[in-house]
Amino acid sequence: MDAAAPAVDLRSPISARASATAPAAGFPVATAALERIAGLVLDAAQAAGATAAETDVSQAVGLSVGVRRGDVETITWHRDKGVGVTVYVGTRRGHASTADFSDDALRAAVTKAIAIARYTEEDPAAGLADPARLARGVRDLDLYHPWALDVDTAVALGCEAEAAALAVDRRLTNSEGAGVSHGASEFVYANSNGFCAGYRSSRHSIDCSVVGESGGSMQRDYWFSAARAPEDLASAAAVGRIAGERTVRRLGARKLGTLTCPVLFEAPEAADLLGAFVHAVSGGSLYRKTTFLPDSVGKEIFARGVTIREEPHLPRARGSAPFDDEGVATEPRMVIADGVLQAYFLGSYSARKLGLATTGNAGGAHNLVIPGSEDLAALLRRMGRGLFVTEQLGQGINPVTGDYSRGAAGFWIENGEIAYPVEEITIAGNLKQMFRDIVAVGTDVDTRGSRHVGSVLIAAMTVAGT
C-alpha cells in the first residue's frame, strides 16, 4: 500500500508482486495508486459503520480498428477505470461504484453503499468469503503481454486479412470487414478479511468476415484469432484465408427435409453446449431451482467416457486466474469423471444458500478442458451420414427444462465426407439426452476461449427443414 495511506486492521496486503510506482505503458494510473484507493475505500467503509467490506479497483486500455474494402471504417481508443465497493452491515448488503478516483468521490461511493445496505433485507448468506479459503500468494500465469500496436500497423493488418480472404475465390464479392484490436487491463481486489491482490492481463484479436455469391444466392462466414500474447495470434493473412475458405464452402447451400440423424457440432459450436452445462450446475441456477440438472452431484450427466476438468492455472489461457472474484484461491479439479458430475460451480453466496462450500467460482467457471480421442476426419467417418453444424443462430435453450432448439447451418455428410452445404434448418433435442448421447469428442480443440473442447458428435437429434 502507499505509505501515505493510514494503517487499519481491516486490510493486510498480501500481493506477491512488487507495486509499480508509475503507470505501465498506456494505463491511466500506477498499480500503487490502485492499492492506495482500495485501502482508502476499506478505511472509509469501516469509519462509516460497515462490519465488512470489499472493493475492486480496475483500469483498462485498448485500441480497435475496423476496415472494409480497404478503407478505414472505425478507430476506437479506450481508457477506462472504475471502483466498485460492496459493504455489509451485519447481513445487509449495499453496493455502489464510481469512475472518479478522487478521495471525495470514493468516500461518496462508500456512503451510498452504506445507505443502500441499511435499507436492504437481512440475508444470512451475504458476506465475504471464508478467510481460510483466500489465496495466499498470487502465482504468475503469464497473462500480461502488451502489444505496442499503432493505428497504421493495425490498419495494415486488417487490410491484409481482408485481401487474403477475397483472394481465395473470385466468387467472394464483398466484405463485412476485418478488425484488429489489442487491450490490457489491471485490477486490485481487497477485502476486510485481510486480502489485497491483483494482476494485469491482456487480450488481442484479428478477425475477418467476407461475403460470397453463386447462383443468385449469397453466403457469409468469418474467422478470428485471439490470444493473450501477440506472438500467439495467427497471421492476418491466415485469418483472412480461413475466413475466405469457410465462406466459399458454404456457397450453393441447400435445405433439408425434416429427419432424425446424428449431429456433429464443430468445436466452436460445441463450446456453447459446454456453456449450457456450466449454467445448469452453477450456484444461481441451483438455489433458484431454475435448472434442468438439480441435485446432480454423483449422478451420470454425460455419456460414459466423457471427462471435464477445470484448469484455472493454464499459462496464457483465456479463463486462467489465480483467485476468483472474492479472492478465493482457484484449484484444478475434476468436474465430470467418466460421465458423472463431481461438483458444482459455486461462489460463497450461492454455496451458503445451498449449505455447501465455495468452489472458487465466484465470477464463473475457469478453463474447462474435455480430452478428445479422434480428429475431425475420424469423427465424420464415424458419423457416416448426418449433419455437421458449423454455425448456430438464436438462443433457443430453456434453462429449466433443457429443451434445445436453434437455427443452424453447416454441411450434410454422406459416407463420412462432406456432400453439400445446408442452411435454413433447425436442430432440436433436450440437453439432458444430448449430453448422455455424446458418441465421441474430437482432438480439434478450440483454445481461443475458456472452454477447451473439440468437435462433439451426438448420436441423434431432430433436424427440421422444409
Per-residue confidence (pLDDT) for residue 2, from 0 to 100: 35
DSSP 134-200: B-SS-------------HHHHHHHHHHHHHHHHTT-TTEEEEEEEEEEEEEEEEEEEETTTEEEEEE
Distances in Å between the Cα of 337 and the Cα atoms of 110, 342, 357, 394 are 45, 7, 20, 31
Predicted confidence (pLDDT) per residue in 180-202, tens digit: 999 999 999 999 999 999 999 99
Per-residue confidence (pLDDT) for residue 137, from 0 to 100: 83
> What sign results for the dihedral spanned by CA atoms 438, 443, 444, 445?
positive
**Residues 211 and 247: beta-carbon distance below 8 Å:** yes
**Which among 326, 297, 328, 333 has a CA at the least distance from the CA of 312?**
333
- Report the DSSP beta bridge partners of residue 56: 84, 189
**Which among 325, 311, 314, 317 has a CA at the least distance from the CA of 361?**
325
Using 70 as the pLDDT threshold, list the residues of the chain that sit under it. Answer: 1-25
Per-residue confidence (pLDDT) for residue 26, from 0 to 100: 83
Helix 151-166 to helix 236-248 angle (10° resolution) is 30
**Which among 33, 242, 64 has a CA at the least distance from the CA of 155?**
64
Per-residue confidence (pLDDT) for residue 96, from 0 to 100: 98
Per-residue confidence (pLDDT) for residue 447, from 0 to 100: 95
Element (H, E) at 211: strand 195-214
Predicted confidence (pLDDT) per residue in 79-97, tens digit: 999 999 999 999 999 999 9
Three-point CA angle 286, 291, 295, nearest 5°:
55
Per-residue confidence (pLDDT) for residue 17, from 0 to 100: 39
**Residues 73 and 67: beta-carbon distance below 8 Å:** yes
φ, ψ dihedrals at 166, nearest 5°: -70, -25
Per-residue confidence (pLDDT) for residue 294, from 0 to 100: 97
The model's pTM is 0.91
Q: How far apart are CA 346 and CA 365, in angstroms?
A: 9
Per-residue confidence (pLDDT) for residue 24, from 0 to 100: 65
